[in-house]
Amino acid sequence: MKFSFISLLIICAALCLFYLIRVEGRAFVLLAVSLWYVAYLDRLSFVWLTGVTAFTYAGGLIMQRLLDCEKKRASRIVMIISTAAIAALLLFMKYSPLLKGMETVSDDLLKIFVLPLGISYYTFQAISYLADLQKGKTKAQKNIIIFALYMSFFPKFISGPIEREGDFESRIKGLKTVCLLEKGRIEKVFCYMLCGAFMKAVVADHIGLYVPALMEDPAAHGSAWLLIGVFFYAMQIYCDFAGYSLIAIGIAELFGVELTLNFKAPYLSKSPSEFWRRWHISLSTWLRDYIYIPLGGNRRGLPRQLVNTMVVFALCGLWHGSSFKFLLWGLLHGAFSAFALLIGMNGSDKNPVKMWLSRILTFVVVSFGWILFATPDTSTAVFYVKRIFTAGASAGSFAEEMQLLGMSPVELAVIISGIILVMIMDIYGYRKGKILPELVLEWKYGWRYFLYYVLIVLLFILTRSFSDLNAGSFMYMDY
């Protein structure tokens, strides 16, 4: 969801209704709040959401009836037509901005086809539901309230995670036994949301004050600051998106709904395959299960595996946006993954030197790939990389470029300190095999409350000291 003061009021109202009414009506309350929230954000997005939800729900019922009558071929035809229609809608909405260059298209029509909020996520959920139904992994959801809630649940609506209907249904059916004051629930919510808010407001938002100036005008800066910009943006997009995910998990936990964990210290990965097991996990597993494996995965020899890998990452790039730079970003990751397959770089090498070289190489490639996200277009991205290797210090001294960016030494220290703290958190979590909130909840009370105190103080001081921070805007809401 989009976190703001209005969002806080919505959560409080939802909590009151959720715990005051009869337990049988809890799912209906969450659905009503979710649909109202989507309509509040954008009415056209609400229309598209309800249309896709109704279409998928009806398609699922038809498929189930055909499967019950052992008409698997007919059910498969319905599944193919339904998923093709949903995928076509997503592609059209993603690429509708290209219509702006056509003189024959009216402004009123363009307003209708503005990219709806959350469509990248709930269409993938719809497709996975139909595919799992055909495979027999789940049964058609006959309860329209549960299915509509699966598609629209407000904490995950705008930026995921991408859930599976079967898993989500079991969580919704357990709503009747949820108690707000159940042991550990309030502290778990608080811990997840506090860690997420720190990553977002203290780290990502501070970096976000300066990265755009570097990415949009690389000609004004020397190599050192352009390299810093690459590193800063890599940390910004990670802390922004992972911060969102932690906050969303915390909000969902208020209602007893467990959301999929989306990030597990991805920048410590030793191979591209490990990176994608740790970055945007719900998307990468969706692509694996519904694109890579159906294409044959790694079962038909190395050449076919390399082709499948390139196809998956090309689609991953197209999913993120309509610009050519996103396709290029996907192909870059596909090429790196193919290269890793060819040289046997899978992160299993126990040699510490090779392990760290693999880790550094993975981080560098991933970080340079983000340049395509951060810059306005492909030509600027290419020029940015070229400037890194050719500009030298021609734009001025380090201090002069800080002044050009409007960055004070104190602000630089805040950013560096925040990044270091996030890195320490990730290293600690990586070694323990858990994310920080999970580990913190296992600490003794003294250490736990000390960390809470530190994070709260940092949030209070730093978000009040920098008036340009915008804690209500998240980067992945645009994809």
Determine the pLDDT at residue 321.
83
280 is an active site residue: no
26 vs 403, higher pLDDT: 26
User: pLDDT tens-digit profile of 271-310?
Assistant: 999 999 999 999 999 999 999 999 998 888 899 999 999 9
Determine the pLDDT at residue 203.
94
Question: What is the sign of the dihedral through the CA atoms of 186, 192, 196 and 201?
Answer: positive
Q: What count of residues does the chain have?
A: 479
Distance CA 231, CA 424 (A): 16
165-173 helix and 119-135 helix, angle to the nearest 10 degrees:
90
pLDDT of 473 > 80? The answer is: no
**Average predicted confidence (pLDDT) for the chain:** 88
Q: What percent of the chain has pLDDT over 90?
A: 69
Q: Which of 206, 221, 280, 320 is catalytic?
A: 320
pLDDT of 469 > 50? The answer is: no
User: pLDDT tens-digit profile of 345-377?
Assistant: 877 777 788 889 999 999 999 999 999 999 999
Is the peptide bond between 294 and the residue preceding it cis, with omega within 30 degrees of 0? no
Residues 6+ apart with CB under 8 A from 460: none
User: pLDDT tens-digit profile of 413-452?
Assistant: 999 999 999 999 999 999 999 998 999 999 998 999 999 9
User: pLDDT tens-digit profile of 47-66?
Assistant: 999 999 999 999 999 999 99
pLDDT of 472 > 60? The answer is: no
Instruction: For residue 101, give Cα distances in angstroms to 171, 378, 398.
Output: 46, 19, 42
Determine the pLDDT at residue 31.
96
The arithmetic mean of pLDDT across residues 251-261, rounded, is: 94
R_g (Cα) of the chain, nearest Å: 23
Distance CA 115, CA 117 (A): 7
Q: pLDDT grade, residue 474 (50/70/90)?
A: low
User: pLDDT tens-digit profile of 64-123?
Assistant: 999 999 999 999 999 999 999 999 999 888 876 555 454 444 555 555 567 788 999 999
